[in-house]
Structure 1
Amino acid sequence: MPIDRPAPGRPHVTAAVLAGGVGARMGGPRPKQLLPLAGRTILERSVAAFCAAPQVDEVVVVMVPDLVAEAEKIVAEGGHGKVSRIVPGGASRSDSSRAALRAVAHRGGGDLVLLHDAARPLVSGRIIASCVAALAEAGAVGVAVPSSDTVVEVAADTRGHEVIRSVPDRAVLRRMQTPQGFRLDVIRRAHERALADPGFVATDDCGVVLRYLPEEPVRIIPGEEGNIKVTHPGDVAVAEVLLRTLEEER
């Protein structure tokens, strides 16, 4: 498929849409990324958001291995020309991220990659643009929103009941979203070190950088409450309401 070429001197930007999980918490027979959301699958909506972003030159999809052919059909029927390849994911989030990095192994270390959960189909153009812009100065960028709830740390008491251990200051807490953006040399080094430490299980890629490249600051840019992650059955209905609201505002 034809891929947009960046302007001379500008890093090539690849967005990797990570759809390699089976969505066990959703509880349905199909992975959540293939569920319909207002007439299009969640996967297609996530892919379309990055294909529409002028800052993104190429899109790679990481899919459940048994469903790569179905993802190829969805992308082809949707006419998403920036998608260069669809590759099988792994057993964990980190495995799928590394599959995405292998797919862009031919890119230079100064090029950029955005790693995005396919289950966040309402990511906005503003977030994508801000993430890419921040990578002009930072090697790693996370998207986050302030926590409106009090977050507590818990522990088990002598009878096995959960009790509050501490109450962190809410002012310094954030809820992470995606995409998460990186210079390729940064995220490659972080994952190379993570591979040598199989005891650590990462839930996102900024966490991998934080642990294995502590000298590399992870810049935070503002996310949006509408950039929700579809995790539980009720989240689809919430996403549909948010989508209708966004369409009415346009």
Structure 2
Amino acid sequence: MTPSTSANPRTATRTVAVVLAGGSGQRIGLATPKQLLKIAGKTILEHTLHIFEQATSVDEVIVMMNPGFVSDAEAIVRKAGLDKVSRVLPGGTSRNATTQLALDALSHYSAANTNVLFHDAVRPMLSQRIIDDCVTALERYEAVDDVITDVPTRSRLRRGQTPQAFRMSTIRDAYAKAWNDPDFEATDDCSVVLRY
């Protein structure tokens, strides 16, 4: 007789990295988005995407790009052979709108069995350890930072850690509540989860 498996086997969890590349570069006076600037022969976006391409804990990557530069990002993905990138989509008019568009694009996945990592495209110095630590933490927590007590306004921030990692059900529920709030205003995705 063979041993039986558990009556409720754990369903496999899918991890999707959403690379946020919707910025325009205007805050620092650029005509081209900073994620398309080249460093060591590659765009910053390509450096960032290679990190997620190599991450064994990430199954898929979606790029949310500045709407005027979607074809540029698609060309970068094609030329670099980035197989995990499933889609390059236009971002929204704000960080929160872009996150919502990404969540809508992932609506075909089960919210109960999907993790989402949101990462700023212009942060290419991300380590594999940080990605793995975020994904591992989501086995126990609904959001990686469950000790956040306050998030300052974005104009006062100079540095922030990404990726911000969530179980899909948590971030979807938080945004559903946020959009119903007439006073909705958030610095980033962690602040949406914290508030809602």
Which band: TM-score by shorter chain?
0.7 to 0.9
Residue of structure 2 equivalent to 1:216: none
Distance 1:42 1:184, change over 3 A: same
SS at match of 2:125: coil
1:179 to 163, 167, 178: 163
CA distance in 2, matches of 1:143, 1:126: 19
Residue of structure 2 equivalent to 1:121: 124
CA contact (8 A) 1:48 1:80 kept: yes
Residue of structure 2 equivalent to 1:172: none
Distance 1:52 1:119, change over 3 A: same
**CA-to-partner distance for each residue in 1:64-90, whole Å, 9 max, x for gaps?**
111111110000001100000111101
Distance 1:39 1:135, change over 3 A: same
Residue of structure 2 equivalent to 1:210: 194
Residue of structure 1 equivalent to 2:39: 37
**CA-to-partner distance for each residue in 1:211-238, whole Å, 9 max, x for gaps?**
00xxxxxxxxxxxxxxxxxxxxxxxxxx
Q: Percent identical across equivalent pairs?
A: 51
CA contact (8 A) 1:142 1:178 kept: no
* Unmatched runs of 5 consecutive residues or more in structure 1: 1-7, 145-174, 213-250
**Cα RMSD after superposing both structures:** 1.7
2:82 to 80, 83, 87: 80
* Letter matched to residue 123 of structure 1: L
**CA-to-partner distance for each residue in 1:79-119, whole Å, 9 max, x for gaps?**
10000011110111001111111111111112111011111
Superposed displacement of residue 9, structure 1: 3.1
**CA-to-partner distance for each residue in 1:99-141, whole Å, 9 max, x for gaps?**
1111111111121110111111111101000000000000011
Distance 1:75 1:196, change over 3 A: same
Q: Does 1:137 align with 2:149?
A: no
Q: Select the structure of larger CA radius of gyration.
A: 1
Superposed displacement of residue 143, structure 1: 10
Residue of structure 2 equivalent to 1:95: 97
Moved more, 75-84 or 38-47: 38-47
* Letter matched to residue 31 of structure 1: P
CA contact (8 A) 1:112 1:184 kept: yes
SS at match of 2:31: coil
SS at match of 2:144: strand
Residue of structure 1 equivalent to 2:115: 112
CA distance in 1, matches of 2:81, 2:189: 29
Q: Does 1:53 align with 2:37?
A: no
Residue of structure 1 equivalent to 2:73: 71
CA distance in 1, matches of 2:21, 2:146: 19
Superposed displacement of residue 62, structure 1: 0.2
Superposed displacement of residue 201, structure 1: 2.2
* Unmatched runs of 5 consecutive residues or more in structure 2: 1-9, 148-158
Superposed displacement of residue 198, structure 1: 4.2
